[in-house]
């Protein structure tokens, strides 16, 4: 159940965007089973044309999409990494999320104060990123101190524990040097799997996949152009390569909810899912068609465990149908025909689930 947080300087439109999500038809779905939602938390359903099609093919009574949790994180201010003002709460909130939506102001409005004086999203991106880099460096310094203390009396410690601390020490030192150059942890392409596993236990802020959202006027959004967009794209290419940039309008999203206009929310959610390397598989029948979310590379038993935690342990095998094999077929699906034409595959524990798989899990009772 992955989550993401909305981050940015004050007055850039974060709350406006968050409110639009909570009021959107895609937001806070009524049939969502875990209904306790905090005020700063929104749940947005993942727009899935595949799920809609599958519900038709299986004559399902209802369809249940996956969701993404989105947190409104209190405003970041310059100097947050020195624990000024909201800094501290902000930093612990952001540590808890898996991905970051960074909202940056690209609209002019003399009525709305810009905390830095004028509208300059490339400068704002640098301010926010510098805060995150500094906070990661500070966090690594503290972690290295703690590890050094652990290693002081290493003769009294189990050898495997000492080896693990020493490996963490090495990885954190590499991470620190990388941050010193002004680069995000995410942007070092040659981390080994062991290093990544070590880094994961520190929840570093610049290791979190980020989607950049340029908040513009309604007009700019609808025409797909904004005077700052090229600067922002350029900045991201240099300072946060591979991260997507989306032009949207926080103000217009609120209107789009009411008027049914072209909302950017489905694209925003989709880009975050891609940044988090998430894929969907489906379970389908006459009662419900349901979309499930796992990380790319997930093995079948772990994917089954998302449906029901017991299934990971009791998993026997699964039957898989590829979405592309049924997409064009007439409803209702003829399973006998699918089976006789070899479109239903039986897979075991080592099968890696693919995006669009329709699964039926066999588990021991
Ligand atoms: P936050 O501090 O980042 O959460 O910013 P808010 O969402 O509270 O927005 C700050 C002010 O900017 C509010 O008065 C919003 O109505 C306004 N605002 C947000 N988005 C836009 C926009 O796209 N255009 C204009 N003109 N104003 C906006």
Residue 201 has pLDDT above 60, yes or no: yes
Percent of the chain topping pLDDT 70: 92
List where CATH 1.10.150.300 sits in the chain.
Answer: 130-205
The answer to which of 9-13, 30-34, 87-91 has the lowest mean pLDDT is: 30-34
Indicate the top mutation candidate among 7, 73, 112 to test ligand 1's pocket, ranked by most ligand atoms within 8 A of CB: 112
What confidence tier does 265 reach under pLDDT thresholds 50, 70, 90?
Answer: very high
What confidence tier does 21 reach under pLDDT thresholds 50, 70, 90?
Answer: confident
**C-alpha 91 to ligand 1 mean position (Å):** 22
Distance CA 184, CA 133 (A): 7
> Which atom of ligand 1 sits closest to the CA of residue 16?
7
Averaged pLDDT, 90-117: 88
pLDDT at 92: 78
pLDDT at 126: 95
SS3 letters across the chain: CCEEEEECECCCCHHHHHHHHHHCCCECCCCCCCCCCCCCEEEEECCCHHHHHHHHHCCCCEEECCEEEEEECCCECCCHHHCCCCHHHHHHHHHCCCEEEEEEECCCCCCCCCCCCCCCHHHHHHHHHHHHHHHHHHHHHHHHHHHHHHHHCHHHCCHHHHHHHHHHHHHHHHHHHHHHCCCCHHHCCCCCHHHHHHHHCCCCHHHCCEEEEEECCHHHHHHCCCCCHHHHHHHHHHHCCCCCEEEECHHHHHHHHHHCCCCCHHHHHHHHHHHCCEEEEEEECCCEEEEEEEECCCEHHHHHHHHCHHHHHHEEEEEEEEHHHHCCCCCCCCHHHHHHCCCCEEECCCCECCCCEEEEEEECC
**C-alpha 114 to ligand 1 mean position (Å):** 10
Q: Is 217 in the pocket of ligand 1 (CB under 6 A)?
A: yes
pTM for the full predicted model? 0.90
- Answer whether CATH 3.30.460.20 is correct for domain 297-363: no
Q: Is 102 in the pocket of ligand 1 (CB under 6 A)?
A: no
pLDDT tens-digit readout, 213-233: 999 999 999 999 999 999 999
pLDDT at 76: 65
Q: Is 72 in the pocket of ligand 1 (CB under 6 A)?
A: no
b/e burial code for range 29-66 (CB count within 10 A of at least 16 → b): eeeeeeeeeeeebbbbbbebebbebbbebbebeebbbb
Which residues touch 25 (CB under 8 Å, ≥6 apart)? Answer: 257
Q: Which fold has domain 130-205?
A: DNA polymerase; domain 1 (1.10.150)
As for the ipTM of the complex, it is 0.95
Q: Is 215 in the pocket of ligand 1 (CB under 6 A)?
A: yes
Q: Is 75 in the pocket of ligand 1 (CB under 6 A)?
A: yes
List where CATH 3.10.20.30 sits in the chain.
Answer: 297-363
Name the residue with the closest Cα to ligand 1, atom 17.
Answer: 13
What confidence tier does 81 reach under pLDDT thresholds 50, 70, 90?
Answer: low
Q: Is 112 in the pocket of ligand 1 (CB under 6 A)?
A: yes
What confidence tier does 110 reach under pLDDT thresholds 50, 70, 90?
Answer: confident
Indicate the top mutation candidate among 16, 121, 222 to test ligand 1's pocket, ranked by most ligand atoms within 8 A of CB: 16
pLDDT tens-digit readout, 273-314: 999 999 999 999 999 999 999 999 999 999 999 999 999 999
List where CATH 3.40.50.300 sits in the chain.
Answer: 3-48+63-118+207-275
**C-alpha 341 to ligand 1 mean position (Å):** 56
- Answer whether CATH 3.40.50.300 is correct for domain 3-48+63-118+207-275: yes
Q: What is the mean pLDDT of the chain?
A: 90
């Amino acid at each position: 159940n992955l989550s993401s947080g909305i981050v940015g300087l004050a007055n850039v439109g974060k709350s406006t965007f968050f409110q639009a999500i909570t009021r959107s038809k895609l937001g806070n779905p009524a049939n969502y089973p875990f209904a306790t939602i905090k005020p700063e938390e929104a749940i947005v359903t993942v727009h899935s044309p595949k799920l809609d099609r599958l519900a038709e093919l299986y004559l399902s009574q209802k369809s249940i999409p996956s969701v993404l949790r989105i947190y409104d994180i209190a405003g970041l201010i310059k100097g947050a990494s020195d624990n000024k003002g909201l800094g501290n709460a902000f930093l612990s909130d952001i540590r808890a999320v898996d991905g970051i939506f960074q909202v940056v102001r690209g609209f002019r409005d003399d009525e709305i104060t810009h905390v830095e004086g004028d509208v300059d999203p490339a400068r704002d991106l640098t301010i926010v990123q510098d805060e995150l880099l500094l906070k990661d460096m500070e966090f690594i310094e503290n972690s290295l101190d703690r590890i050094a203390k652990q290693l002081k009396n290493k003769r009294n410690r189990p050898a495997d524990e000492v080896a693990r601390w020493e490996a963490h020490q090495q990885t954190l030192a590499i991470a620190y040097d990388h941050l010193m150059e002004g680069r995000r942890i995410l942007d070092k392409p040659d981390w080994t799997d062991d290093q990544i596993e070590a880094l994961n236990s520190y929840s570093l802020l610049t290791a979190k996949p980020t989607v950049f959202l340029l908040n513009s006027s309604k007009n700019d959004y609808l025409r797909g152009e904004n005077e700052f967009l090229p600067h922002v794209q350029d900045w991201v290419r240099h300072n946060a390569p591979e991260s997507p940039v989306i032009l949207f309008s926080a103000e217009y999203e609120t209107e789009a909810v009411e008027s049914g206009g072209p909302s950017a929310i489905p694209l925003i959610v989709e880009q975050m899912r891609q940044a988090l390397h998430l894929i969907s598989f489906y379970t389908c029948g006459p009662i419900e068609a349901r979309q499930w979310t796992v990380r790319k590379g997930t093995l079948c038993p772990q994917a089954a465990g998302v449906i029901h935690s017991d299934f990971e342990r009791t998993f026997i095998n699964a039957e898989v149908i590829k979405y592309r094999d049924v997409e064009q077929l007439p409803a209702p699906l003829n399973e006998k025909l699918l089976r006789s034409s070899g479109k239903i595959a039986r897979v075991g524990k080592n099968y890696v689930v693919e995006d669009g798989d329709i699964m039926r899990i066999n588990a021991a009772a």
